[in-house]
Every structure is written in structure tokens, then in C-alpha cells.
Chains A and B, each alone.
Chain A
Amino acid sequence: MLITCPYCGPRDVIEFTYQGDGNRERPQPASQNLDAWNAYVYDRLNPAGDHNEIWQHSGGCRAHLRVVRNTITHEILSTEFARGGHKSTDSRAEGRS
């Protein structure tokens, strides 16, 4: 599996660390809504298909990326910095060089 880091280009998955479901929404810091906190801390989507995920390029630039990955085919549909900004949708990069 190759993930195209917007900064470093297409890199092997071995350089990345999976940082979990990217759909989780953290409640406002002062929120006392325990259900919302509970959902944020413990609930994870587990779709068979396209999934929003957070990956850190821990063996590279260390940026966190939002990655859309198909959990069945492992195809990477898009990657972008979690902070926003540059987005890469070049899924052809996977397997090419």
C-alpha cells in the first residue's frame, strides 16, 4: 500500500502510523456531555468500503493526514493534511513511481 503524502509524495505504508477513525468529533473542551465524550473516545466506524482515516507520516514529515481508504480494496482515494490545505487525489500514484 502506498500513501501519497502531500508533502513527501507516494510513500510505503511502513512509514505511516494509523491514528484511527477520522470521523470522530471531539466535543468542545469544556463540554460535560458524557455521551458525546464516550462516543468520541470509544465509538469507531468500521465500514466495508470508503473510510475516512487519520494517518501520521511518522517515518517522514510527521504530518497527520486525512486519508480516504477503501477498506475492501485498500485503495487510497485521497490524502490531505489534517490541518487542511494541500490535497492529493492522485490515486494513480499507488503502484506507479
Chain B
Amino acid sequence: MSPRRAETGGRIDRLRTIRFTFDGAPYTGYAGDTLASALLANGVTLFGRSFKYHRPRGLLAAGVEEPNALVTVLRGEVREPNIPATMVEIYDGLVAVSQNRTPSLAWDIGAINQLGGKILSAGFYYKTFMGPVIGPLKGTRFWMFCEHFIRRAAGLGKAGTAPDPARYERMNAFCDVLVVGSGPAGLMAAKAAADQGARVILADLEANLGGSANWSGETIDGMPAADWAQRLAAQLAGNDNVRLLPRTTVWGYYDGNTLAALERVTDHKEVAAKGEPRQRYWAIRAGTVVLATGSFERPLVFPGNDRPGVMLAHAAERYANEYGVLPGQRIALFTNNDSAYRSAVALKKAGAAVVAIVDVRGDVSNEMRRLASDAEAELLAGHAVIATEGGKALTGLKVQRFDATSGVLSGDERSIHADSLLMSGGWSPTIHLASQAGAKAEWDPARQAFLPPKPTQRWTGAGAFTGSFSTAEAIAEGRAAGLQAAGGAASSAPLPVVEAAPGDPDPAPVFEIKAKGKSFVDFQHDVTAEDVRLAHREGFISVEHLKRYTTLGMATDQGKNSNVPGLAIMAEALGKPIPEVGTTRFRPPYTAVSIGSLAAERFGDLKPERLTPMHDWHITNGARMYSAGLWYRPMIYGLPGETVEQAYVREARATRESAGIVDVSTLGKIAVQGPDAAEFLDRVYTNMFSTLAVGKARYGLMLREDGLAFDDGTTWRLGEQEFLMTTTTANAGKVMQHLEYFLDVIWPELKVTVTSVTDEWAGAAIGGPNARAILASCVTGTAVDNATLPFMGIVHGQIAGVPVMICRLSFSGEMAFEVYSGAGYGTRVWEALIEAGKPFGLVTYGLEALGTMRIEKGHVTGAEIDGRTTARDLHLDWMLSKKKPFIGSAMMDREGLIAPDRLELVGLIALDNRPLNGGGHIVEELDEANPHASLGHITACCYSPALGKHIALALVKGGEARHGTRAFVSDPLRNRFGPVEIVSNHFYDPDGSRMHG
């Protein structure tokens, strides 16, 4: 079908043609192709433009480490950028586009940057865009100004702005053994562990299990390695205790052997099956982890090593063996180790002409010489590639004699005609997950690679991950690791027999050929060897600084190719051995992870809604609701045409004139029970509760351990050993935790239990001059007169046949009662009270009127108990018992907490008759342009119908001493300035005659 696709071979299905588009042009491929292999088969060599210089780039790799061929996949309106084409499985209708080019890949305006190579060197952006020292664009502002344009010119794919309609799923999984990687080592480990009866999960980021067996061309147990792997995978799939997860990237290794993985469930499908999520996020808790993650082949660093047509040797082998695609017809190889010889033979077998093997080593083994002649390739030992030729595709290369020890080039340059150059700079074990788990990699001078250390956590390694690069070693280590992980004894049973090309795993320590031209280290971020040296010359000697200055290894591939060559070049510049330069620790995620998968089902507003028992009644009766923490509470019950202010003023006024009722079910309610309940409350509250009579309630104040005010509320003594504590709505959970902490940790000897009963009770507060008359007309089983139900008294009775508990206490300042019933009967009692109130003009009121009346009374709430105020600041010092210690008593008298200049609670009256604002500051003299130092701030404000004025509560320095004096509100943000009078916080009925009745 195409010049590059072989007639046979590979693990693709030639009977199933797939149609897709790339940059708008239609292409076909076969089932089993990746976007990379399909385009390569179609003769496409140009896949992208580089990040900084906009150089043409082709495929470097065949797997997850691909740095160049990044594409954006479009599904409807949704665009997903920066996916390696090597990881995109093609499906009918796939639409992919290239990135970082304007207007097209072939004709890219940004390529002009190539001409400016010198000025775009390391740190260029930092140096150039710091801006002038003065002026509107001084310093980093200039950078911020330029950044917008630079980001457009230099960059990767663009994310979409359309909402992602895909569904994502999160799964929690548990297993005895998690095997990461399904090459020969991983398959053997999974099999061995499964045979021991362990619960096994085997995850691999590729679509097909088998890893290198899928393309190595080796023979295992007499059959092609790929068939052997498939057979083993099929056996595993039949085991009940094994879960296979192909297309699943294990990307994070966290504490306690918890691993994060991303399964791409339907990304490779034209249409998802019913119920299938796009991706699935796995949180896996593993007893033991077997890391069989293989290794990455490293590029060599030499001039022109980024030209389309220059590819990693194993990648070409993989394209040929797994996909039946040849990257070129005339292939040259450039290597510092033996593995490239196997690649040469494989490509020869697949039908390519191998024109030359350029080996930096002068001394090449006889075995390798034999492989070279099998490939019918000219062997240029002791040579190096010093340049490549061609534009958007390779046409040839130049070689010269090279001394691997000194790095010196000599002799005549020689040109070789080739359309593909395959390089191998040795292999780096994929130690990312082990590094995430906390292991510090160890440099192995023989392998010229970082190897994983002896594990300290519950993981074990096998195969190329450990630096054992041969398949026979991988099989042996895999079985041993699987047995060990499952707690089995070592086995001496015969292992599968591998027939493979020979080869020494140790490369020559050559990373770079220093010749004229740009030699790339980090392909994705366009970092050259010269950039690394420049950074060193400019004083960057720490590997962490070097990374940040050059951005080496900081692209989406996180330096999977560039890490070791970059370090080697830096080590040379520093004159230090590589291990002394050190490596950076790998961090999750191993590859890019979609935010959608992390959120999974958890998106939108996740807060639970707490609704009071009377919620539906409020809605039906015209309440405008207001969210208070998790609760929804009526703000106002507005009449048609009323503003919020008109509504709350009407509600508050009606309450003070006749009666009003408000839903107080949200108050925190805690049952405090046990023989030591009274003693416990004495320790928790600043005031005394052991002296409280049964059937009475008392207002209580709690401090924190540090002596600052914490919460307030009334607590009712229902029995000798039984109290019902109420807390503010906002602090209900905190107070509960506070009480539990003291009972569990500090005073375990106290015989007390605390139980949250907030949701068990419905509460209605009815207040006003007619409140008692209304109650009297609907309560049975008890009188509610002053003798039976005095201030702070509690009675039990029934309303509408429902048992109720009534306490006479007041927040509004009126004669008022709180009526509690079982939550399930809340609406019934509420409706009965409303009905009984009709002859009296009873109004329902919401939070606004509640707040208004509390400001008029000068009561404190969370706005004043703000974590910075003391009891004295709030004029609650009368509640601080001197007869007993209590939480906070030792710390509350510290110097700073009793200083005379502390902010104190006061009242304010607006003298200009205009509304005040919460947060506005109080100053002694008004100067709008240059506000004076603040004396304090407003905590709550309202229009007071009782006073006919705009009033506020405020915390003001030396508050009480300022009563009766004038000050100013200064609120530049809202442009509110004006005179106020400082008064007592008790605006209304200061002696409490109305509530005491």
C-alpha cells in the first residue's frame, strides 16, 4: 500500500483499513497502528516544529518518550494537545493536527528563529525581558508584557476552551502484587505471583501486553517472542486472581504503597461502548510492587541530531517488527554500544539496505562484526557522525575518525548517502517510579546509567529496570520478583529458553560529539549541548539550577531522553564525575494526566446541602434563601415589589410591635450526658453550669486554650446528668470536635458522652410582645405564664399533638421562646404556630431581620468572635468565673490580651443618615485622599427600624472610653466617608425590660 510498509510482518491487521486525517489530509492505516506508525507508513517524515527554533522535527522514538511528534487530537469541540503520536492508536474518523506551526507544518514563519540561534540561547528570555529599570514597563512588568507574544510563538499545543463532555471514573483497587510493565520480566512476575495464589494487577501503558517481546524479533521457547508473550498474557487473563490493565500508565508512587494509574479506556475507540468512561483513574493499594518498567534508549548528542530521519535505533526496529514499517530505505546507524547491531540486522531482515554502522568504539567485538556483516553493512569503527544533511527529510550524513577516549575528531570528512540515521547512546533504566517512592538512584559506571538502589519500600525490580538488559535475565529476574512479592520460595524449575542476538550491555562512555552545529540534548525544549555549557559558564553549577535556567528536562516528556546526556555534558563542564553532579528526583506524574480523570465524578458543587425540616415550607411561602455555610436559611420573606431592605425592616418592626417567628433549626445542638456532665461544662464554659437548676437554661461562653473567645450559646439542663448545649450555626462542628478532644485526650476520667443532635431537633424562635399569647393559644400540657415559664425556664408540652420543649430565651430582645420538636414534626409544629399567630399578625422573619434585631441588641456573633477578640473586648467579662479554672482561663490574662488599646465592641450611629458598610474603617479625622490610621472596623451594620437610623457594630480601639464621641467611617474601596457617633453596643432596650416582661 505504501513505499514504507512491508507486505508482511508486524502485529497489525492488514485486513482492517482505518481512515483518519492529519492536518486535514486524509490517510489510511491498519488496525493496530499508532498515529506515528501509520503516518510513517504513508511517507510522512515531518511531524512537528520545535519549541524555540521551530526546526522541523520527525519521529525520534516509538513509545511514550517521544519528544518531537506531539499532536493535538480533536473530538468535536474538544481538543487534547501534546499527545505523542506514538501513543495515539488510530481509529476510523480520528482527527489529529500538528502543533507549533504557523500557518502550516511545511511552511512555518517561526522557523526564522533558526537564524537567530545565537540570541535564543539559554536564559535568553530571562536576560532580554527583564526590562528597563524605570518607566511603565520596568523590571518584570516588561516580561509580563512580552510574555503573551512569546508564549504564542514558542510553545506546545493549545488547550481547548470548550467544556469536556467526557465522563471519567475513579476506581480504588487492592492487590497483593502490582506488576508495572508487561515485557518478559513483568509477564513472568505476574505469572509467578498469580501461581502462588496472590491477587495480581498487571498494568502496561501500551495497548498490547508484551513490551519488548512485541518487537525484539527474539525467540522464546521456540516461538516468536511476541507469540510467547501473547500466550502468557492470555493465560493470565484466564486467572480469576489476575486483573490485566493494558493502556494503563502507572504515573505516581505514593506513601504506603499507594499507586496512581490512568487507564485510557476509550481514547482509541471511534465510539465508546455504553457506560464506558473516557479514562479511568486507578488508586491502587499494593502489598508489593514489581517494577518491570524497562529502559529508554538514549540519543547521541551531535550536530544535526534532530533532523527528521534521525531516530533511535530500537524505535526503527520496533516500527519494522511491530508495525511492518521501515523508517527509510538506506539506513545508517550511529552507536556507542552493541544493541544497535541487533537493530541493524532486524532492519536488514525487514527489507532495508543498511549502508553503514558508525561506532564510536575503535574496538568492536567479533560477534558485533559478524552481525554487521549479516546486515551487509559497512562497519566504521572508531568513527563518529559530525553532521547530518537534508531539509525536512534526511539525505545524508558526514562522518569523521573519532577517538572515544579523548573525544578528538581527525582525518577527512566523509559523506554517506542515507535517508535514515538510527542512533543508540546506550540505555537508561526507567527508574521514575522507584525515584518517586524515595529511592536515590545509583550511578553504574559500567552501564553508564542510573540504576535503582536496593528497595527500602515494598517494591522489587526486574529486567531492564534493574540494568539487566537481556531478555533471558529479564525472564529470570521477573519470575524471582514475582515469587518474592507473593511470598513464595525461590524456584529452580527450568526457565523459558531465549534465543537472542548477543551483545555487551555496557556502552562506551561517549555522550556527545563536539563538532560545529547545533547538537540537541533536550529535543522538546530545544536545549543544545552549548546551552548547557553556557549555563555553566554563567555560574550555574547545581543541576537543579541548570535545569531551570536552560529548561532542560522540564518539557512534557520530563527529560526521558535528555536527562543522562544533559548530566554527562554538565559533568564534563564541571570537571566532575556524573554521580557527583547528581540526578534530580523524579516527581509524579510519569506522563501527563488529564485533570478530568483526577476529578472523576467529583465536579461541580460537591458541598452537601443542609436543609432544615421546614425548608419546603419556606420555599412555598416565598422565602428568598441564603446559603450560610452548608445550610440554606430564609433571608427574607419578601412581599411582591419589596426590596430586601423593605422586607427585613417590615419583618423586624412587626416582630417588635406584635410577634415574629424564625427557623433556628440550624443552631448546633449537642447532648452532653453523664455523671460528670455538669463538671465538664464548668471546665468548658467560662461561667458556672453545675449551679444551674434542672429545667433552666443559661447563656454560656467558651474560650480557646489561648484565651481568645471561641463560641457562645445557651445550654439547657434537662436533667441532673443531662444537658442540651446549643452552639452557633457556624461553629457546631468545631465545638463538637473541641468537646470530643477534651474528653478523649485531656480528661478521659470524666464520665461524659457528647452526641451531636443538631439534626434531631427542629427549632422555631417566636418573639415579640404577643409571643406568649400566641403560645398560650396553641400549647397544651403546660402553662406558659411567667410563673411556670420564667426567663430562661424550660417546659414540656404539646403543640398540634406533638411533644415540644420550650425554653424562654431571647436573641431578638423581645419576650421570646424557642420551641423544639422532633425534626420529623418540625413543619407540623411550625404551621401550628403560624396558624395560632394569625390573629396577632405574626410574621415570619429571615436572617436579615434576625441580624437587624441582634445588632439593635448588641449581641455578638462570628463577625465579632473572629478569633482575635477576648471576652473583655466583647464586654463579656461578667461571664468569666473567678471561682474555677476553665479552658482558656490561664492564658486569657496575658499582657497583650488585656492591653488598654485593644479593639473593643462598640455601637455606631451614622450621623449622615446613610448606610454603613461591613469592613469599613473608623478614623479620628477624615481625609479621603490620605486616610488616617484605623481605629478599628465595622463588623455588622443595618438600618434599625427601632431607632430609625443606620447603625453598626464595630471593634474600635479604646471603645468604651469613646462612647458619645464623634469619629468617621473611612471606606475608600466603596467611597463611603462620613461622620459617626460611637455609642454603647446596646442600642435597644439596654436594661432588657422587654424580654424579661
CB–CB A1/B255 < 8 A: yes
Task: Give the docked Cα–Cα distance between A56 and B285 (Å).
Answer: 23
Chain B interface, >50% SS class? mixed
CB–CB B890/A34 < 8 A: yes
CB–CB A30/B458 < 8 A: no
Q: Which of B212-220, B556-564, B743-751, B972-980 contacts A (4 or more CB under 8 A)?
A: B743-751
The residue from B256, B737, B748, B889 contacting A83, defined by CB atoms under 8 A apart: B748
CB–CB A95/B258 < 8 A: yes
Task: Give the docked Cα–Cα distance between A31 and B744 (Å).
Answer: 21
CB–CB B890/A31 < 8 A: yes
CB closest residue in chain A, given B257: A95
Cβ contacts A60-85/B at 8 Å (1 or 0 each): 00111000000001110000011110
CB closest residue in chain B, given A84: B748
Interface residues of B in 876-901 (CB under 8 A from A): 885-886, 889-891, 894
Minimum CB–CB distance for B868 against chain A, Å: 16
> Contacts A34-B890, A58-B737, A73-B255; is A82 near B287 (CB within 8 Å)?
no
Task: Give the docked Cα–Cα distance between A62 and B287 (Å).
Answer: 28
From B255, B286, B706, B889, residue with most partner A Cβ within 10 Å:
B255
CB–CB B891/A95 < 8 A: no
Minimum CB–CB distance for B243 against chain A, Å: 14
CB closest residue in chain B, given A63: B744
CB–CB B256/A62 < 8 A: no
- A96: which B residues are within 8 A, CB to CB? 176, 287
Task: Give the docked Cα–Cα distance between A26 and B894 (Å).
Answer: 17
A54 contacts the other chain (Cβ, under 8 Å)? yes
CB closest residue in chain A, given B742: A26
CB–CB B285/A41 < 8 A: no
CB–CB A2/B256 < 8 A: yes
Interface residues of A in 30-46 (CB under 8 A from B): 30-32, 34, 37-38, 40-41
CB closest residue in chain A, given B705: A41
B840 contacts the other chain (Cβ, under 8 Å)? no
CB closest residue in chain A, given B894: A34
CB–CB A94/B737 < 8 A: no
- A6: which B residues are within 8 A, CB to CB? none
A89 contacts the other chain (Cβ, under 8 Å)? no
CB–CB A95/B286 < 8 A: yes
- A97: which B residues are within 8 A, CB to CB? 174, 285
Task: Give the docked Cα–Cα distance between A29 and B742 (Å).
Answer: 12
Task: Give the docked Cα–Cα distance between A30 and B885 (Å).
Answer: 5
The residue from B285, B741, B886 contacting A19, defined by CB atoms under 8 A apart: B741
Task: Give the docked Cα–Cα distance between A97 and B744 (Å).
Answer: 28
B740 contacts the other chain (Cβ, under 8 Å)? yes
> Contacts A34-B894, A41-B706, A95-B458; is A82 near B744 (CB within 8 Å)?
yes
Minimum CB–CB distance for A36 against chain B, Å: 9
CB closest residue in chain B, given A26: B746
CB–CB B255/A64 < 8 A: no
CB–CB A95/B287 < 8 A: yes
Cβ contacts B306-335/A at 8 Å (1 or 0 each): 000000000000000000000000000000
B683 contacts the other chain (Cβ, under 8 Å)? yes
CB–CB B256/A82 < 8 A: no
Task: Give the docked Cα–Cα distance between A72 and B256 (Å).
Answer: 12
CB–CB A56/B683 < 8 A: no
The residue from B683, B744, B745, B890 contacting A32, defined by CB atoms under 8 A apart: B890
Task: Give the docked Cα–Cα distance between A17 and B740 (Å).
Answer: 12
List the count of A-B residue pairs having beta carbons below 8 Å apart.
Answer: 67
From A30, A63, A96, residue with most partner B Cβ within 10 Å:
A96
The residue from B255, B745, B891 contacting A74, defined by CB atoms under 8 A apart: B255
Task: Give the docked Cα–Cα distance between A41 and B748 (Å).
Answer: 19
Minimum CB–CB distance for A44 against chain B, Å: 13
- B683: which A residues are within 8 A, CB to CB? 29
The residue from B256, B741, B745, B746 contacting A95, defined by CB atoms under 8 A apart: B256
CB closest residue in chain B, given A95: B257
Task: Give the docked Cα–Cα distance between A67 and B890 (Å).
Answer: 28
Task: Give the docked Cα–Cα distance between A27 and B890 (Å).
Answer: 10
- B705: which A residues are within 8 A, CB to CB? 40-41
Task: Give the docked Cα–Cα distance between A32 and B893 (Å).
Answer: 11
From B174, B438, B741, residue with most partner A Cβ within 10 Å:
B741
CB–CB A62/B740 < 8 A: yes
CB–CB A83/B744 < 8 A: yes
- A82: which B residues are within 8 A, CB to CB? 744-745, 748
- B885: which A residues are within 8 A, CB to CB? 29-30
Task: Give the docked Cα–Cα distance between A30 and B737 (Å).
Answer: 23
CB closest residue in chain A, given B756: A62
CB–CB A95/B285 < 8 A: yes
- B706: which A residues are within 8 A, CB to CB? 41
- A75: which B residues are within 8 A, CB to CB? 256
> Contacts A29-B885, A41-B891; is A64 near B256 (CB within 8 Å)?
no
Minimum CB–CB distance for A79 against chain B, Å: 13
- B894: which A residues are within 8 A, CB to CB? 34
From A29, A38, A73, A83, residue with most partner B Cβ within 10 Å:
A29
Task: Give the docked Cα–Cα distance between A75 and B705 (Å).
Answer: 31
CB closest residue in chain A, given B176: A96
- A64: which B residues are within 8 A, CB to CB? 740-741, 744-745
Minimum CB–CB distance for A74 against chain B, Å: 4
Interface residues of A in 1-53 (CB under 8 A from B): 1-2, 17, 19, 26-27, 29-32, 34, 37-38, 40-41
CB–CB B745/A54 < 8 A: yes
Minimum CB–CB distance for A70 against chain B, Å: 10
Minimum CB–CB distance for A87 against chain B, Å: 15
> Contacts A29-B683, A54-B745, A64-B745; is A37 near B891 (CB within 8 Å)?
yes
Minimum CB–CB distance for A88 against chain B, Å: 15
- A29: which B residues are within 8 A, CB to CB? 683, 885-886, 889
Cβ contacts B839-869/A at 8 Å (1 or 0 each): 0000000000000000000000000000000
Instruction: Provide 26 A-B residue pairs closer than 8 Å at the C-beta atoms, listed in order of the A residue.
Output: A1-B256, A2-B256, A2-B285, A29-B889, A31-B890, A32-B890, A37-B890, A38-B891, A40-B705, A41-B891, A54-B745, A56-B740, A56-B741, A64-B740, A64-B741, A73-B438, A73-B457, A82-B744, A82-B745, A82-B748, A84-B748, A94-B256, A95-B256, A95-B458, A96-B176, A96-B287
Q: Which 10 A-B pairs have the closest CB atoms?
A: A64-B744, A74-B255, A29-B885, A95-B257, A83-B748, A97-B174, A82-B745, A82-B744, A30-B885, A37-B890
Q: Knowing that A41-B705, A94-B257 are A-B contacts, what are 18 other residue pairs whose CB atoms are under 8 Å apart, sorted by A's residue number? A: A1-B255, A1-B258, A2-B256, A2-B285, A19-B745, A26-B746, A29-B683, A29-B889, A32-B890, A54-B741, A56-B741, A56-B744, A58-B737, A73-B255, A74-B255, A94-B256, A95-B256, A95-B286
